[in-house]
Chains A and B, each alone.
Chain A
C-alpha cells in the first residue's frame, strides 16, 4: 500500500489559487480511476477534478469552500502497490493548461465549450514500481465544467444532522443517553420533537436546553394549529454565491451609483417585434426585446463612448472600448451569471437573439466557457417579466453603466390632446458617477428612448 497525492492542477486561470466548491468523495471512500473527486472553482467556471487512479481516499486537502493554492495537496489516495509518497514530491511540469475550445457557431445555439487539458496534471507521487496503465499521464478525461451545479451543498458526513426540516425521518427513534431521556420525560418533552445535533443525530442536554429555551410562543403550537417552525438553516456561502457576494459588495463599496429611470413607449417596437416573429415563424430565432435594446445600444454608444468603458479605479485609468460586448445578466440555478454577447456591433437582431439564448442556456447548464463569462463592456439586466416599476441595478465592475429593463404596461398617454393607450416600459439605468456625469447619462438614456420609440432608426445607418 502507498499513497498517491493528487495536487490541485493549474486549471489555466492564471491565478494562484482556486476554491474547492464541492467534494464528491469523503475520507474512506473507494474511488475508481476517473471518478470525480471535487469541484474546483475559479472565477466563474467550475472544473471537476477526476481521480487519476483507483484507490481509497485517505485525506482531503481542504474543506468545501476553502481556497487552495495551485499545486497544493487536494486529495491523498491510498493505492495498492505504491510507495509512500513524500509530500514534497516536486511538481514535474505537470500543469494542466486547459484551453477553452469555444463553439464559434453561434447559430447552432449550442455550446460546445469544453476544457481540454494539455496534460494530466495529477502526477504520480513516486515512480510507481508497478504502474497500472492509470499511473501514466493520460490526456483523456478532461475536467468537465460543471458550473451550473447548484452551488453544491458540500457533501457532509452522513451523520451530520440537517438543521431544518423535521428532527428525523418519521419512524426513526431518537437517540439520547438515559440521563437525557429521563430529563426529557420529567420535563414533559417528547424527544421525537427534539433535534439532535450530536453524532448520529444524538440528542444531548444542550439540545434539550435549546428546545426548552425556545420562545414560549414557539414551544406551544399556535392556536391556529399550525406547527411553529423553529429551525435555522445554516448555508455556507461558498462557490458561486461567495463570488457574487464579493463582487456585489465590491461594486457597492467602490462605485458611486446613481440610477436614472425613464419611461419608453415601446408600442412601435413591440409591433415590429411581433410582426417579425410572425413573418419568420420558426425559421428564425424568436425575437425578444433584448436584441432591440442591444441594437439601440449599438446605435447610441458611439455617441457616448464614456458609457462603453471600464474604469480601472486602482490605476485611475478609463478604458473606452470600441467593441460593444453586452453582458446579459442571467439567473442560473446557482445564482447570477453574466454571459457576454461579444461584438454586438457585428450582429443583427436575429443573430443577437440566437446568441443571447445560447449563452443563457449555456450559463444555466453550467457549460459556459470562461471567456463567455467575462469581458463585457456594458450590461443589460432584465427583470421585466417579473413586474416592478423601477430597479436600481448594481454595476458590473469595472463597467460604468448598466441598463435595467422593467415590465411593459399598457398606459394612457397624453398625445395630441387626448389620452391614448400605449404600451410603455421603464428603463432603469445605473451609472458610475465617478466617471459618468448625470447630464451625459440622461442624454444617453434619452437617446435609447428615442431609438426604441422610433424603431426604424435602429436599422438606419447614420
Chain B
C-alpha cells in the first residue's frame, strides 16, 4: 500500500472540491484531490452543464419546428428539421469532455495531485483510496469533504429500467415518445421542457399545488403559462404511486390515473452524499441529513472541513465553489468567513427564473417594512425584439432606507441578469443606486433599472 503525506486532502472533485484544490494549489499548499469518477462532479458531468447543452439543442430544434410550421412571427420559413439525437448527445458530451480536461489542467497548473479512485475516510486525517494501481493511504493535516449529492429516489419508484434520474435523462439514446416527470422542481421542469421541445409528450406530476414550489407564485406563473403552451400537461396535487405496464400510476384528486410513459424521470430533489466514504468513522455532528458546518465551513472535528451539497441547501454549484475557495484560504492561514448577502438561484426553465435575496413575502416574514417594484418585459423593447415579452423583474427593498433585500426575475434569458442582481445585493445597493446607474439600451437589464425606478415611484417606461 502506498503512503502519501500531504497538507490538504480534498475528497470529491466537484465544483466545491476542485475549486478548493485549485485555490489551495495557488497558495502553495501541498494538495491531493481524490475523485472516483470524472472531474467536475454532478454539475459538470450530469447536471448544470449537460442539461444546459440539452436545453439549448432542444430550443434550437423547437424553433426550427415552429418555423417549418410557418409559425414564425417574422416570416421565416424552413423545411421540416430532423434531429440526429445521438449527435446531440455526442455534442453535449464533447462540451463536458472539454470542461473535464480544463478542470484537470487547472488542477495540474496549481500543482494539485489528483488521485483517481474511491476514497474512504479512516479517521479525521487519513483516507484510504482504492486506485487502479492499488490502495493508497493519504495522510493530511486538513481534510475537505466535498462529496456532493445524489438524486433522491422514491421508495415505490426505485431507479432502474424505465425509471431514471436526471443523470440518465441526459444520456438517453433517443427522444422518448412519452415521458412522465415526477417533481415540478427546477430539474424536472428544465428537462421536461427540453424533451417536450424535442418532441416527447411530457406529463409533469407534482405533489404540491403549484410548480417550482421553492419560488413564489407570481414568479412561476409565466413558466406555468409556457408549459401549457408547449403542450406539457402539469398535474398538481398528484402523487406517483407505481408502475403498471407502460404507464405511470398516479393519484390525482383521489382518483387513480395512468400516465403513458416510455420513460419516467424522477426529479424529486437531491440528497447529500453521506454514505460510502467513512463519514460514520469521523462521527461528525450532523444537521439533519447534512454535515453540520459553521460560517467557516468547519465541521465539528478540527481541520476537517465540508463544502457543497453535502452540507445542505441551497445545493448550488456556485455556493460550493465559494465555500471551497474560502476553505482553501482558511487552510492557508487567512481569516475568512462565509458572510454572503445572497446566493442567486437560476432555473433554466422556459422562461428562465432568477432569484437573489428575499422575496417580498420572505422580507415581510423577516420583519421588514418593504416597498417593491415590478417591471414587466412587455414594456421592454429588447424583450419585444426577442419575441419574449412574458415575465418581469421585481425588486424588494426596505421601506425606510431603500436597501435592496431581494431581486427576482422571470423571462427569456434573465439568467444573465443574475450577475447584476448578486452584485447589487452584495454591495449593499439602495434603490437609488440602481436607479442612478445607466443601464445600456436596448437590453433586458433595463427592466432591472425600471423596477428600481418603479419602486421609487419614478418609473419612466410604464
Known: A28-B457, A158-B401, A178-B426. A199 touches B433 (CB 8 A): yes
Chain B residues with CB under 8 A of A176: 428
Residue on A nearest B334 in the bound complex, by CB:
A186
The verdict on A164 contacting chain B, using a C-beta distance below 8 Å, is: no
Known: A28-B457, A177-B428. A201 touches B401 (CB 8 A): yes
Inter-subunit contact A200/B457 (CB<8 Å): no
Chain B residues with CB under 8 A of A159: 400-402, 430
The verdict on B196 contacting chain A, using a C-beta distance below 8 Å, is: no
The verdict on B30 contacting chain A, using a C-beta distance below 8 Å, is: no
The verdict on A181 contacting chain B, using a C-beta distance below 8 Å, is: yes
Inter-subunit contact A200/B428 (CB<8 Å): yes
Known: A199-B432, A202-B428. A188 touches B401 (CB 8 A): no
Chain B residues with CB under 8 A of A28: 456-457
The verdict on B339 contacting chain A, using a C-beta distance below 8 Å, is: yes
Inter-subunit contact A175/B428 (CB<8 Å): yes
**Separation in Å of the A94 CB from the closest CB of chain B?**
31
**Separation in Å of the A204 CB from the closest CB of chain B?**
9
The verdict on A185 contacting chain B, using a C-beta distance below 8 Å, is: yes
* Chain B residues numbered 397-447 whose CB sits less than 8 Å from any CB in chain A: 398, 400-403, 426-428, 430, 432-433
Inter-subunit contact B336/A158 (CB<8 Å): no
Inter-subunit contact B335/A199 (CB<8 Å): no
Residue on A nearest B432 in the bound complex, by CB:
A199
Chain B residues with CB under 8 A of A177: 426-428
Inter-subunit contact A158/B432 (CB<8 Å): no
> How far does the alpha carbon of A202 sit from the alpha carbon of B398 in the complex, in Å?
14
Chain B residues with CB under 8 A of A181: 339
Residue in B337, B400, B426, B457 whose CB lies within 8 Å of A185: B337
Inter-subunit contact B402/A200 (CB<8 Å): yes
**Separation in Å of the B153 CB from the closest CB of chain A?**
38
* Chain B residues numbered 327-375 whose CB sits less than 8 Å from any CB in chain A: 334-337, 339
**Separation in Å of the B207 CB from the closest CB of chain A?**
35
**Total residues of chain B contacting the partner, CB 8 A:** 18
* Most A CB within 10 A of own CB, among B337, B339, B426: B339
* Most A CB within 10 A of own CB, among B401, B426, B433: B401
> How far does the alpha carbon of A460 sit from the alpha carbon of B169 in the complex, in Å?
115
Chain A residues with CB under 8 A of B430: 159, 199-200
> How far does the alpha carbon of A178 sit from the alpha carbon of B426 in the complex, in Å?
6
> How far does the alpha carbon of A219 sit from the alpha carbon of B336 in the complex, in Å?
22
* Most A CB within 10 A of own CB, among B337, B428, B433: B428
Inter-subunit contact B402/A188 (CB<8 Å): no
**Separation in Å of the A432 CB from the closest CB of chain B?**
52
Residue on B nearest A177 in the bound complex, by CB:
B427
Known: A28-B457, A200-B428. A175 touches B335 (CB 8 A): no
Chain B residues with CB under 8 A of A198: 428
> How far does the alpha carbon of A188 sit from the alpha carbon of B337 in the complex, in Å?
12
**Separation in Å of the B367 CB from the closest CB of chain A?**
9
> How far does the alpha carbon of A202 sit from the alpha carbon of B400 in the complex, in Å?
14
Inter-subunit contact A158/B400 (CB<8 Å): yes
- Against B, the Cβ 8 Å flags (1 = close, 0 = not) of A193-210 are 000001111100000000
**Separation in Å of the A400 CB from the closest CB of chain B?**
53
Residue on A nearest B337 in the bound complex, by CB:
A185
Inter-subunit contact B403/A200 (CB<8 Å): yes
- Against B, the Cβ 8 Å flags (1 = close, 0 = not) of A149-179 are 0000000001100000000000000011110
Inter-subunit contact B427/A199 (CB<8 Å): no
Residue on B nearest A181 in the bound complex, by CB:
B339
Chain B residues with CB under 8 A of A202: 428
Inter-subunit contact B401/A199 (CB<8 Å): yes
**Separation in Å of the B85 CB from the closest CB of chain A?**
44
Chain A residues with CB under 8 A of B427: 177-178
**Separation in Å of the A144 CB from the closest CB of chain B?**
29
**Separation in Å of the B397 CB from the closest CB of chain A?**
9
> How far does the alpha carbon of A178 sit from the alpha carbon of B457 in the complex, in Å?
29
**Separation in Å of the A123 CB from the closest CB of chain B?**
27
> How far does the alpha carbon of A27 sit from the alpha carbon of B77 in the complex, in Å?
55
Chain A residues with CB under 8 A of B339: 181, 185
> How far does the alpha carbon of A202 sit from the alpha carbon of B432 in the complex, in Å?
13
Residue on B nearest A196 in the bound complex, by CB:
B428
Inter-subunit contact A175/B337 (CB<8 Å): no
**Separation in Å of the A56 CB from the closest CB of chain B?**
9
Chain B residues with CB under 8 A of A199: 401-402, 430, 432-433
> How far does the alpha carbon of A181 sit from the alpha carbon of B334 in the complex, in Å?
14
* Chain A residues numbered 26-47 whose CB sits less than 8 Å from any CB in chain B: 28
**Separation in Å of the B230 CB from the closest CB of chain A?**
40
* Most B CB within 10 A of own CB, among A177, A181, A200: A200
Inter-subunit contact A188/B335 (CB<8 Å): yes
Residue on B nearest A161 in the bound complex, by CB:
B401
Inter-subunit contact A185/B428 (CB<8 Å): no
**Separation in Å of the A159 CB from the closest CB of chain B?**
4
Residue on A nearest B403 in the bound complex, by CB:
A200
**Separation in Å of the A38 CB from the closest CB of chain B?**
22
Residue on B nearest A187 in the bound complex, by CB:
B335
Residue in A175, A185, A186, A188 whose CB lies within 8 Å of B403: A175
**Separation in Å of the B17 CB from the closest CB of chain A?**
23
> How far does the alpha carbon of A55 sit from the alpha carbon of B331 in the complex, in Å?
61
> How far does the alpha carbon of A434 sit from the alpha carbon of B284 in the complex, in Å?
89
Residue on A nearest B458 in the bound complex, by CB:
A28
**Separation in Å of the A112 CB from the closest CB of chain B?**
40
**Separation in Å of the B255 CB from the closest CB of chain A?**
49
> How far does the alpha carbon of A199 sit from the alpha carbon of B428 in the complex, in Å?
9
> How far does the alpha carbon of A60 sit from the alpha carbon of B339 in the complex, in Å?
40
> How far does the alpha carbon of A176 sit from the alpha carbon of B337 in the complex, in Å?
14
> How far does the alpha carbon of A200 sit from the alpha carbon of B397 in the complex, in Å?
11
Known: A159-B430, A175-B428. A200 touches B401 (CB 8 A): yes
Residue on A nearest B428 in the bound complex, by CB:
A175
* Most B CB within 10 A of own CB, among A175, A182, A186, A188: A175
> How far does the alpha carbon of A201 sit from the alpha carbon of B428 in the complex, in Å?
9
**Separation in Å of the A41 CB from the closest CB of chain B?**
29
Inter-subunit contact B401/A185 (CB<8 Å): no
**Separation in Å of the A116 CB from the closest CB of chain B?**
37
> How far does the alpha carbon of A198 sit from the alpha carbon of B427 in the complex, in Å?
11
> How far does the alpha carbon of A177 sit from the alpha carbon of B426 in the complex, in Å?
6
Residue on A nearest B433 in the bound complex, by CB:
A199
> How far does the alpha carbon of A412 sit from the alpha carbon of B4 in the complex, in Å?
98
Residue on B nearest A185 in the bound complex, by CB:
B335
3 closest pairs, A vs B, by CB?
Answer: A175-B428, A200-B401, A200-B403
Q: Would you list 20 pairs from A and B whose C-beta atoms are within 8 A, ordered by A residue? A: A28-B457, A159-B400, A159-B401, A159-B430, A176-B428, A177-B426, A178-B426, A178-B427, A185-B336, A185-B339, A186-B334, A186-B335, A199-B401, A199-B402, A199-B430, A199-B432, A199-B433, A200-B398, A200-B402, A200-B430
What 6 additional pairs, Cβ within 8 angstroms, besides A200-B428, A201-B401? Answer: A159-B400, A178-B426, A185-B335, A199-B401, A200-B401, A200-B403
